[in-house]
Amino acid sequence: MEESPTSQETPGVKRKWLRRPRWIVLLTAVLLGIGMMSTGVIAADRLLPRTVVNWQNEGFWYTVQPGDYLSLIAARYGVTVSAIVQANNIANPNLIRVGQQLWIPGVTAPTPAPSPLPTGGATPSPTSSPTSPPADGFWYTVQPGDILSRIAARFGVTVAAIVQANNITNPNLIRVGQQLWIPGTAGPAPTATTTAAPTQTAEPTQTAEPTATSTPSSEGFWYTVQAGDTLSRIAVRFGTSVSAIMQANNITNPNLIRVGQRLWIPGSSGGTPEPTATSTVPAPTPNPATGLGYGFGIQPYGADMNFVVDATKGAGFNWVRFQVPWRDFERDGKGQYNWGDLDNVLNALHNGEVNVMASIVKAPSWARPANTDLTVDGPPADPKDFADFLTAFMARYQGKVQAVQLWNEPNLYHEWGREPLDAARYVRLLCDGYSAVKAQDPNVRVISAGLTPTGVNDGVIAIDDIVFLQRMYQNGARSCFDGLGAHPSGYNNPPDVRFGYTNPQEPEFKNHPSFFFQETMLRYRNVMVANGDSAKRIWPTEFGWASSPTPLPGYEYAADITPEEQAQYLVRSYEMMKSWGWVGPAYAWNLNFGVVNPESEMAQFGIWDRPAYAGLRDMPK
């Protein structure tokens, strides 16, 4: 998230610099429980809620478990964070601790008395798996780092279905090595083994390669399992599903595959090759019009554009991205355009042969709905006004803009005018904008808004980005963009780790998938594949790592990243995106805010005159 002031703003007016601003970091801390892991300096009596006085007739006691935060607990039991906060008189939703008793209101269930806290470090085990599971399904062995919601997502079932099939009384308590019946997947159900995890030397027998009598589908190819592979990772890589691979290979336990095993990957066009020792895996075939590209997010307003061009090309990059605030160029009324310095910016980039992505955002006040909150930016009342601005913009800058991104982070209230967050309304804006751009220049790539990664899902402050993306597809977004915008944040985590990674020296920003670059990218890809959209690429229009020995309030994680680590993480992220094969132009955030706006929050992410610039310049492309 960023706000780029234009040359038309009044000099001296205090601007709101919004790249991961303190309000959203603090908000995330409150609602996701980031501070849980660093609360040791706070007195114990401040961690406990006051005596519950707001009970409802229905509810139950819940004991906080390791890794819990309020939004996870709320989502698990179908209530809101605010309901739990109110019922327990919690003064600071960021401060809950393992073992704390919380009243979960509004759930139809008997109210058990609070049980004593576990003693001796023992973890109670859920009820044993059922002795007579349903006919369709398979046994799964719980692995380190597993939680029920992750297992459910992996195999396309619900947490409730797994809980019911296994008679689990507390969905937070599962253990490594436990056998769970995953219902609803057709196939034979092998006999459950003991709950001990298989030894590393054990050779699985359930996942034998397809025999000579197997008849794979007419389209597909053979793939050899590599170190670190899982079925879900293989499925994501090649745009298929776990169940499709299981069915094609007669796999009964998706947890047991081995390095060197050959798997038939169904659904790719082509004949059925004979498996050979040297068979290779064809690369995925996303939209061929735009492959991986290298770009910077820039601040063009008030910048030396010759420097921007030289620095971009000097790094071997060929794209830049920046915001075009609609409110600044059609401020005074419909059709009253004042393009200001935008002509000089785009002429300089065009003459320098640098590709441009323009992110069109922020409706002018005259176009906003009646009674909306004009203290924050938001969308127009009528998407046709947005389409008309795009028509004028594209007509003026024909041939000088290669991609247009339509809006910014519409799953966040601050970008949506404090109006009800609504994926369907955003899709209408997206589709009208898409038609307007394509009518002027069908070769310009239209990219959807990058969503803000978040676990907040109250529909008022934010909607979880995965939920919002799914709703976009449900409302017809697939036909209205050429590439999926993304803002995969890294915080203080390396790019090649995933949710479940821990670092005792840097414990914060670990307890939700939205804090991990790779996790966000793979989760988005899963949604695209599930919606039949695997041919498109993800365009990471804003990603990076802040580094500062004295970070501004709300950006404390920047102190965990040295300039050298910032360089390493950026280079590694490009290497990963290149290897995935389904990423389009990726814009490192940011080139020059440290030059143009050195005291701003965005400057902490700056790349110029740091090791990061040299690293990006020298990496193979």
Top mean pLDDT of 118-132, 250-264, 556-570 is at 556-570
* Among 41, 70, 105, residue at a domain's last position: 105
Q: Is the pLDDT of residue 20 over 60?
A: no
- pLDDT value, residue 66: 59
pLDDT band at 485; cut points 50, 70, 90: very high
In a domain? residue 489: yes
pLDDT band at 253; cut points 50, 70, 90: confident
> Which spans in 358-461 are helix H?
383-396, 423-440
312-325: pLDDT as tens digits: 999 999 999 999 99
Lowest mean pLDDT among 76-90, 255-269, 352-366, 550-564: 255-269
- One DSSP character per residue, 125-169 reads PPPPPPSS--SSEEEEE--TT--HHHHHHHHT--HHHHHHHHT-S
261-277: pLDDT as tens digits: 888 888 643 333 333 22
pLDDT (average), residues 76-97: 77
pLDDT band at 145; cut points 50, 70, 90: low
Q: Is the pLDDT of residue 363 over 80?
A: yes
Task: Show the tokens assigned to 35.
Answer: 């501070």
* Among 43, 78, 105, residue at a domain's last position: 105
- Count of domains forming the chain: 2
Q: Is the pLDDT of residue 45 over 60?
A: no
Lowest mean pLDDT among 98-107, 126-135, 302-311, 588-597: 126-135
Lowest mean pLDDT among 186-195, 262-271, 491-500: 186-195
Computed over every residue of the chain, the mean pLDDT equals 78
CA-to-CA distance for 230 and 236, rounded, in angstroms? Answer: 10
In a domain? residue 382: yes
In a domain? residue 160: no
pLDDT (average), residues 341-345: 96
Q: Is the pLDDT of residue 572 over 60?
A: yes
Lowest mean pLDDT among 176-180, 306-310, 404-408: 176-180
- pLDDT value, residue 284: 32
In a domain? residue 606: yes
pLDDT (average), residues 471-484: 97
- pLDDT value, residue 144: 62
pLDDT (average), residues 147-165: 78
- pLDDT value, residue 228: 65
Residue 375 CA, distance from chain mean position: 28
In a domain? residue 128: no
Lowest mean pLDDT among 24-38, 191-205, 288-302: 191-205
In a domain? residue 534: yes
Give the CATH number, domain containing residue 59: 3.10.350.10
pLDDT (average), residues 574-582: 97
pLDDT (average), residues 413-421: 95
Give the CATH number, domain containing residue 309: 3.20.20.80
CA-to-CA distance for 99 and 423, rounded, in angstroms? Answer: 38
Whether 501 contacts 447, CB under 8 Å? no
Report the percentage of the chain scoring pLDDT > 70.
Answer: 73
pLDDT band at 242; cut points 50, 70, 90: confident
Is the pTM for the entire model greater than 0.75?
Answer: no
Question: 511: Cβ–Cβ under 8 A, 6 or more apart, which residues?
Answer: 32, 33, 34, 36, 37, 67, 69
pLDDT band at 285; cut points 50, 70, 90: very low
6 vs 111 pLDDT, higher one? 6
Which of 225, 208, 233, 210 is closest to 259 using CA atoms? 225
Residue-wise over 90-124: b if at least 16 C-beta within 10 A, else e? beebbbbeeebbbbbbeeeeeeeeeeeeeeeeeee
CA-to-CA distance for 66 and 10, rounded, in angstroms? Answer: 50
* Among 52, 74, 105, residue at a domain's last position: 105
In a domain? residue 127: no
Report the percentage of the chain scoring pLDDT > 90.
Answer: 52
Domain span at residue 80 reads 22-105
Whether 595 contacts 306, CB under 8 Å? no
pLDDT band at 212; cut points 50, 70, 90: very low
pLDDT (average), residues 432-439: 97
CA-to-CA distance for 302 and 315, rounded, in angstroms? Answer: 22
In a domain? residue 185: no
Q: Is the pLDDT of residue 59 over 50?
A: yes
